[in-house]
Chains A and B, each alone.
Chain A
């Protein structure tokens, strides 16, 4: 029984079902059913494949490959058509070039590389499956009610909800395919499906701005897909390798192989919107929030980081590894500094910055740094999804989540869930310290001082912007907040995500011991243990329990009557609600609190451009040094 195919097929099945659903009322039912099925299939797969590595060869079914190539061709042709129709010829040209490359490859030299293992499921795949199945499923569940509200608020938009849900479900399926397949051609195929889904989601509203952004995104990502395609064709032609598990065993001294690896790394960098390529992710922030959440924490960005984590054995102390690390590090610092006071920018840049740190960990290629990268990937996926969905829920009742000032009007329950998401990103011990501990130690041992400086300052800036947001969230004013009734589906998804964030950030030794450490032991063939000694872990756990216990102890203390509430100090002219002050004529003036950000110290645009140039130079330098061996 290939239970894994269930997870691959079910979302597509429900996607087709929802496309044919005529009644709006049916959406809720189908989405709930689909999410239930996806989560059940995920859990089933994780249980079944936990104890052994699952491998499956499809060499007996060549037809599957042809079907896949057929769909790939159709998808590519659709993108070409869309590009031509919207007069965005660059996309069409890139995709046509890729079709040509692949046609040549499949017709003339495609079959030199034999595929032994098509599907390969190890512990990292299970981690990814859990992220995709659980987080992706919960985002879908949340999106149903969100979209209903969205269309009620924006009646001018054409209601194409069924297509929206279908695309969301297909992107889950594509991501599952991307992480389970070992055959690089299939990985490319699923990567393209993910790109296409993102394109459709970004352009959902069909407003001129969203169409423009969707083409920006697809142009970048088509380049990413092309990099991936060229990389695997190079590997297949020169080394006869078309499999991920054999790819990482190749000779690290061959400059041709390493150039191909760097191309695939570049694909990962583009997908996870690292610096010279960050533009596309910022453009995507105008689409419906659940779709953003999907892109940030489940599909595109996570796929990019996943590719690089998979390539870790080929990185390390070589030009490719150093270039990867530096791009990740510089992005980590600069994106964190750019996470300004605008909600959407903050969300986008914080994702970019976190992926940067993940990529540093992967690029370093030591067991400890890989551990840190995977833990961070897991935490980021759940916490960012929670933050996005909390914002989304708020947006549907106040429609303007752009400014931080809006946070104080948030219903209490959403404040709590948003707070948990943000606190997870600040206080999770491995984010704050442990991930940096082994990474930095490895860097120190290898004498990589420059990256140490970058990460040190980057973590300070990260702390700054997350705390600033958390601070705005908890700011308390004496005015009545309109408590809105949350939808059942929304509540369920927020609650489960909040629990997941708490598990991953507080009980991280469980997550790490169950799945991450075994993966590192198996894949790196080392007897790896988490560097932190047990006494340290107990100290950390103690600290975290204090966080939980202290408020409980203090509850009776708060209830006492002698703690009187008062309003804030406004030079004696507070009108009493902490929102306005009394002017000279006795009238009330509302006041606003505006944030400074790091960018107050520097010109945002110049800073971004400088970062892009630095990263571009690093990547070009990486290619130069990698290929230098071949030329000389």
Chain B
């Protein structure tokens, strides 16, 4: 019973803390981006204000099922993050993660609007860009570490990245897509101010958009936690290195976001698949040989 209670508390803590962290990251992200663009930028808490404002709006929707798909997407995102922080098996997390992405794309498809249709289609293209990379990463992790278990990473002698350098570079490449950053923000940009008709979310209003935003916070935390998984190891120093490297990587992502222009979806697909193919194959072949 005690185990059950502590597990329930842990889950609750994850569900409360993760969106707060995600929102803060998003706020800081906006602040840094603004500084890079020579603007003052919104306050760091702006994402929370945005979501609260969205929640108060009247709801108008083309198809009531849109909300259903969005809620499912959010739930699977939460589930995924909870599993990840509880140290479950990596593949199970990826399963939940993929399902949540598919539901988000379906939410875009659920109205017969040309704009949201194109957005949903591009969202799907994005999914097939990064899903192979993440699956390969999981198998690389299994091969390097000897288990799919996430909690196992805390007992390693050296971070997993030392055995998976190429796959890690590939991961850095594809998380740009998941963080919805340029040049791979082909389905919708992370920054609402960049476009008038915003891809998948064209037909979503009010609370639906709030769900999308919170969902994205969960995804951001998941992405960073995924990076962290490959940097941590059994020593206290691992935490320092891991957190430091994650901060640097996130800063670089913001830099890339502000320094590049969006590319066409075909180029995005081709560019990621070639990277995944070459890096993934080379790294896995290396692992199976040595």
Contact = CB atoms under 8 A, between A and B. Distances in A.
Interface of A: 408, 426-427, 429, 432-433, 436-437, 440-441, 444, 447, 449-450, 452-453, 456-457, 459-461, 463-464, 467-468, 470-472, 474-478, 535-536, 539-540, 543, 546-547, 550-551, 554, 557-558, 562-570, 578-579, 591, 593, 595-596, 600-601
Interface residues of B, number: 65
Contacts of A444: 139, 142-143, 284, 288
Interface in B189-204: 197, 202-203
Contact of A408 (B58, B88, B89, B112): B112
Interface string B115-144: 111001100110110011001100100110
A432 B128 contact: no
Given A459-B135, A461-B128, A433 B94 contact: yes
Contact of B58 (A536, A543, A564): A564
A567 B63 CA distance: 9
B60 A539 contact: no
Contacts of B117: 475, 593
Contacts of B143: 444
Contacts of A557: 67
Contacts of B98: 432, 463
Given A461-B128, A467-B102, A550-B72, A565 B114 contact: no
Given A464-B128, A569-B113, 8 more contacts: A432-B95, A463-B98, A470-B109, A474-B106, A476-B63, A563-B60, A565-B64, A595-B121
Contacts of A546: 72, 75, 79
Nearest to A427: B99
A564 B75 CA distance: 24
A452 B140 CA distance: 11
A460 B128 contact: yes
Q: What's the dominant secondary structure at chain B's contact region?
A: helix
Contacts of B280: 453, 456
A119 B96 CA distance: 44
Given A464-B128, A543-B96, A562 B64 contact: no
B91 interface: yes
29 contacts: A429-B95, A432-B99, A436-B135, A440-B139, A444-B139, A449-B281, A450-B281, A456-B135, A461-B128, A464-B124, A464-B128, A468-B124, A471-B110, A471-B121, A474-B106, A475-B112, A476-B111, A536-B92, A539-B88, A543-B79, A547-B72, A550-B75, A554-B71, A562-B59, A563-B59, A564-B59, A593-B112, A596-B121, A600-B266
A450 B187 CA distance: 31
Interface in B234-260: none
B58 A467 contact: no
B113 A550 contact: no
Interface string B65-86: 1011001100110010001000
Contacts of A447: 288-289
Q: What's the dominant secondary structure at chain A's contact region?
A: helix
A453 B142 CA distance: 15
Given A563-B59, A568-B113, A570-B113, A467 B139 contact: no
A555 to B, nearest CB: 10
Contacts of A540: 92, 95
Nearest to B118: A593
B106 A467 contact: yes
Interface of B: 58-65, 67-68, 71-72, 75-76, 79, 83, 88-89, 91-92, 94-96, 98-99, 102, 105-106, 108-117, 120-121, 124-125, 127-128, 131-132, 135-136, 139, 142-143, 197, 202-203, 266, 269-270, 273, 277, 280-281, 284-285, 288-289
Contacts of B139: 440-441, 444, 452
Contacts of A436: 135
B42 to A, nearest CB: 26
B81 to A, nearest CB: 14
Contacts of A474: 63, 65, 106, 109-110
A456 B89 CA distance: 18
Contacts of A459: 131-132, 135
A418 to B, nearest CB: 14
A568 B62 contact: yes
Contacts of B120: 471
B142 A441 contact: yes
Given A471-B106, A550-B72, A536 B61 contact: no
A63 B135 CA distance: 57
Contact of B62 (A453, A464, A567, A595): A567
Nearest to A477: B112
B197 A601 contact: no
Nearest to B205: A566
Contacts of A456: 132, 135-136, 280
**8 tightest CB-CB pairs across the interface, nearest first?**
A471-B109, A568-B113, A476-B63, A447-B288, A477-B112, A460-B128, A433-B95, A475-B112
Contacts of A408: 112
A413 to B, nearest CB: 16
Nearest to B76: A543
Nearest to A591: B114
A426 B105 CA distance: 13
Contacts of A457: 132, 273, 277
A554 B94 CA distance: 26
Contacts of B127: 460, 463-464, 467
